């Protein structure tokens, strides 16, 4: 799997945000989020200055846009627990 930076370089994405406002992606890992309740996961994501999007909950998929946002965490939930995440 390509790293986020390689993907950004390949797609020539230029974030339009001030560097100090970006929380490094390495500070928030899947190990910290998987297993948390939906509420606690969202709270932690916001604490790290990132946004979230629920892409699947209890077997129901939700439509999402196709743009890549390196400051957004896509989360999947089953029975109020985070089961999978992806940056973008």
In this prediction, residue 18 carries a pLDDT of: 42
The partner residues of 84 in beta bridges, in order of sequence, read 76
**Which tokens sit at 5?**
């930076």
Domains of the chain: residue spans and CATH: 18-87 (3.30.10.10)
Q: What is the pLDDT of residues 49-71, one digit of tens each?
A: 899 999 999 999 998 888 888 88
Please check whether residue 22 is in contact with residue 69, taking contact to mean a CB–CB distance below 8 angstroms.
no
Please check whether residue 55 is in contact with residue 61, taking contact to mean a CB–CB distance below 8 angstroms.
yes
In this prediction, residue 14 carries a pLDDT of: 59
The pTM is what? 0.67
Give Cβ neighbours of residue 22 (< 8 Å, ≥ 6 apart): 15, 49, 71
Give pLDDT < 50 ranges for the chain: 17-26
In this prediction, residue 10 carries a pLDDT of: 67
Chain centroid to Cα 43, Å, comes to: 13
């Amino acid at each position: 799997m390509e790293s986020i930076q390689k993907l950004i370089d390949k797609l020539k994405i230029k974030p339009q945000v001030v560097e100090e406002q970006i929380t490094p992606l390495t500070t928030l890992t899947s190990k910290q989020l998987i297993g948390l309740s939906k509420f606690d996961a969202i709270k932690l994501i916001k604490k790290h200055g990132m946004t979230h999007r629920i892409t699947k909950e209890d077997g129901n998929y939700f439509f999402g846009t196709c743009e890549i946002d390196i400051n957004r965490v896509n989360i999947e939930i089953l029975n109020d627990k985070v089961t999978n995440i992806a940056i973008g």
